[in-house]
């Protein structure tokens, strides 16, 4: 099996290295990932500047291609240029931080998976929830992600399909509550900004929002992750609002 | 009517200025837009650095807030901090370049509209198709966008709803073929990269893909825009693949 491993935290990120170690026995794993941290980069791509690359060896564990670009650039470049053929699987992660709820639309991790699916591969995004009261353990997180990846492969993920996995923050020696297939929570959060003034009198703003696994319906990714489950959410990239489309097509437009 | 106008090409972009002139009679229009060009920035947001802002006056036409951030940052900051209340309408555009087909997922213009809808406003993205064989006329494009905006308002766009409008490239004194409500085309395109070597021997890559309104089904945004229509596409931000979700929920997961 030919596998592309990428992420949005950069090729040196502990989550990627831990996940590489967990999945390398699955097949031939190529790593093509951003040179620098690209968190919350969304689905941006680079068209007007070149993508600089270099081959790097990380923690004596793998040699991969570092790309000075966005997560989706890495997938595009890998699939168009670097890999010998369309990979049998693309994995993006293990991200530092959950990608549940509306965070899914900001996520570079998810964007990389969506790009891969759109270009014809089966794609999995894997993210680890972080909690300030629990020591982050990427090795354990990657083990749980691998369990979920195995289940997704057994379920039969097809080219063009995307599955997002989120692993709960787990105390040492504890276990996830189980695994749940759940939808994305689309509830808004409340943004807050702190206003300050620079030495020259200009206003600037810090985003001071606190992102918690808060109010939600029972059947969502947010609820399941909060309750300690590994979450599995199938995603898609058709942004058309089909219900509204049909209603509006029934009106007269000239 | 309180209106927020933003874009991804920057607050000085000719498309934004032209659209401002076309919509200012609709109500009280506040402009909050990126300081610099943010094309293909996708739905990125800024969490770890401050958003610098300044008040700028553009072409003696309006005074607005320029934000050193991404399109979605502008919407967040405007709605959380700058505007007196949730706007009655958010308009993003007029973008230099069409946002149809899979481009929708890379688009900063669309990301701004999605962010606004998610935060509880009715949101319209407006984009102008550019063709090398037709002189770009932002004033005419903005007039056509305004026609479409009027139709969308008449149809009754609600808080949380998103409509993407694309205006065809039109030769002087010509007219659009009409207006069509169409779905997003989700066909992949083919990425190509040119490989080069820098003076120090490192490989770098230029994206050399040519984006055309190519092969597509008849009922899509791509087809309608290619045929000279103004396109109207309702969008949504629920990325869950609900069909796959239900199928996978029927399997056993533990």
Q: Is B181–A251 a contact, with Cβ atoms under 8 angstroms apart?
A: yes
The interaxial angle of helices B138-155 and B14-23, nearest 10 deg, is 50
B128 is a domain residue: yes
Residue for token digits 């010509």? B174
Cα→Cα distances B226→A37, A249, B1, B179, Å: 38, 19, 34, 12
What was the pLDDT predicted at A17? Answer: 98
A189 touches chain B (CB under 8 A): no
Instruction: Please name which of A120, A31, A125, A28 lies closest in space to residue A78, comparing C-alpha atoms.
Output: A31
8 A C-beta contact, residue B232 and residue B180: yes
Which chain B residues are within 8 Å of A242, Cβ to Cβ? 183
pLDDT at A29 over 70: yes
A184 touches chain B (CB under 8 A): yes
8 A C-beta contact, residue B102 and residue A118: yes
Cα→Cα distances A3→A27, B4, B209, Å: 7, 44, 24
Give which of A35, A44, A130 to mutate to test B binding, by max B Cβ within 10 Å. A44
Which chain B residues are within 8 Å of A252, Cβ to Cβ? none
B254 is a domain residue: no
What was the pLDDT predicted at A39? Answer: 75
Give the gap in angstroms from C-alpha B5 to the nearest C-alpha of chain A.
Answer: 19
8 A C-beta contact, residue A124 and residue A113: yes
Q: What is the distance between the alpha carbons of residues A190 and A209, in angstroms, rounded to a whole number?
A: 7
What was the pLDDT predicted at A111? Answer: 96
pLDDT at A126 over 70: yes
8 A C-beta contact, residue B175 and residue B228: no
Instruction: Please name which of B46, B28, B142, B134 lies closest in space to residue B93, comparing C-alpha atoms.
Output: B142
What was the pLDDT predicted at B254? Answer: 60
Of residues B48, B232, B245, nearest to A181 (C-beta): B245
Cα–Cα–Cα angle for A161, A90, A51, rounded to 5 degrees = 120
8 A C-beta contact, residue A159 and residue A39: no
Q: Does A43 or A218 have the greater pLDDT score? A: A218
B158 touches chain A (CB under 8 A): no
Q: What is the distance between the alpha carbons of residues A37 and A68, in angstroms, rounded to a whole number?
A: 10
- Residue of chain B minimizing CA distance to A70: B41
Sheet containing A89-96: order of strands: A178-181, A229-235, A162-167, A123-128, A89-96, A2-6, A28-34, A62-67, A51-58, B203-207, B193-197
Which chain A residues are within 8 Å of B187, Cβ to Cβ? none
pLDDT at B150 over 90: yes
Range of the domain at B76: 2-249
Give which of A47, A55, A105, A208 to mutate to test B binding, by max B Cβ within 10 Å. A105
8 A C-beta contact, residue B97 and residue B128: yes
Assembly ipTM = 0.91
Overall domain count for chain A: 1
What was the pLDDT predicted at A254? Answer: 60
Which chain A residues are within 8 Å of B74, Cβ to Cβ? none
- b vs e for B148-177, b when ≥16 Cβ sit within 10 Å of the residue's Cβ? bbebbbebebeebbbbbbbbbbbeeeeebe
A33 is a domain residue: yes
Return the H-helix or E-strand segment holding A91.
Answer: strand A89-96
Domain of B203: which CATH number? 3.40.1210.10
Instruction: Please name which of B20, B60, B59 lies closest in space to residue B146, comparing C-alpha atoms.
Output: B20
CB-count exposure of residue B54 (10 Å: 0-12, 13-18, 19+): middle
Of residues B76, B206, B251, nearest to A155 (C-beta): B251
What was the pLDDT predicted at A232? Answer: 98
| Per-residue pLDDT reduced to its tens digit, A54-63 | 999 999 999 9
Task: Give, as one character, the DSSP assignment of residue B207.
Answer: E
Q: What is the distance between the alpha carbons of residues A66 and A86, in angstroms, rounded to a whole number?
A: 19
B195 touches chain A (CB under 8 A): yes
Q: Which of A197-201, A250-254, B124-128, B200-204 has the lowest mean pLDDT?
A: A250-254
Roughly how many angstroms between the first and final C-alpha of chain B, as a whole number? 52
| Per-residue pLDDT reduced to its tens digit, A192-214 | 999 999 998 889 999 998 877 87
Q: Is B46–A207 a contact, with Cβ atoms under 8 angstroms apart?
A: yes
Q: Which of A115-119, A150-154, B101-105 has the lowest mean pLDDT?
A: B101-105
For B129-253, list the strands marked E by DSSP. 162-167, 178-181, 193-197, 203-207, 229-235
pLDDT at B136 over 80: yes
B104 touches chain A (CB under 8 A): yes
A254 is a domain residue: no
| Per-residue pLDDT reduced to its tens digit, B196-254 | 999 988 899 999 988 778 788 999 999 999 999 999 999 999 999 999 999 999 887 76
Q: What is the distance between the alpha carbons of residues A73 and A44, in angstroms, rounded to a whole number?
A: 8
What was the pLDDT predicted at B75? Answer: 97
Of residues B81, B203, B235, nearest to A193 (C-beta): B81
Q: Which of residues 49-68 of A touch B (CB under 8 A)?
A: 50-54
Question: What's the mean pLDDT when you consider all of chain B?
Answer: 94
Which chain B residues are within 8 Å of A80, Cβ to Cβ? 191-193
Q: What is the distance between the alpha carbons of residues B121 and B158, in angstroms, rounded to a whole number?
A: 8
Q: Is A236–B254 a contact, with Cβ atoms under 8 angstroms apart?
A: no
Peptide bond into A171 cis (omega under 30): no
Instruction: Give this prediction's pTM.
Output: 0.93
B72 touches chain A (CB under 8 A): yes
Instruction: Please name which of B108, B99, B112 lies closest in space to residue B31, comparing C-alpha atoms.
Output: B112
B219 is a domain residue: yes
Of residues A46, A104, A205, nearest to B207 (C-beta): A46
pLDDT at B43 over 90: no
Q: Which of A28-32, A142-146, B119-123, B168-172 has the lowest mean pLDDT?
A: B168-172
A120 is a domain residue: yes
A-B CB pairs within 8 A amount to: 223
Which chain A residues are within 8 Å of B103, Cβ to Cβ? none
- Residue of chain A minimizing CA distance to B192: A80
pLDDT at B151 over 90: yes
Of residues A39, A120, A192, nearest to B80 (C-beta): A192
pLDDT at A15 over 80: yes
pLDDT at B39 over 80: no
pLDDT at A84 over 80: yes
């Amino acid at each position: 099996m030919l596998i592309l491993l990428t992420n949005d935290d950069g090729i040196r990120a502990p989550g990627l290295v831990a996940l590489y170690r967990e999945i390398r026995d699955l097949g031939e794993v190529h790593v093509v990932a951003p040179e620098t941290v690209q968190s919350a980069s969304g689905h941006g791509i680079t068209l007007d500047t070149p993508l600089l690359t270099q081959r790097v060896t990380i923690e004596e564990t793998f040699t991969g291609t570092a790309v000075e670009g966005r997560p989706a650039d890495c997938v595009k470049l890998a699939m168009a240029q670097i890999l010998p053929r369309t990979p049998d699987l693309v994995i993006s992660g293990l991200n530092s931080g959950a990608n549940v709820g509306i965070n899914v639309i900001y996520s570079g991790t998810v964007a990389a998976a969506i790009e891969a699916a759109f270009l014809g591969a089966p794609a999995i995004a894997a993210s680890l929830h972080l909690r300030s009261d629990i020591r982050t353990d990427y090795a354990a997180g990657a083990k749980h992600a691998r369990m979920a990846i195995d289940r997704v492969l057994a379920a039969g993920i097809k080219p063009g399909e995307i599955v997002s996995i989120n692993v709960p923050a787990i105390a040492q020696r504890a276990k996830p509550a189980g695994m749940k297939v759940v939808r994305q929570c689309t509830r808004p959060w409340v943004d807050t900004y702190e206003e300050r003034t620079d030495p020259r009198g200009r206003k600037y703003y810090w985003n001071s929002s606190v992102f918690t696994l808060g109010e939600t319906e029972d059947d969502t990714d947010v609820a399941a992750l909060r309750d300690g489950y590994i979450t599995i959410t199938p995603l898609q990239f058709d942004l058309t609002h089909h219900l509204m489309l049909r209603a509006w097509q029934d009106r007269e437009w000239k």
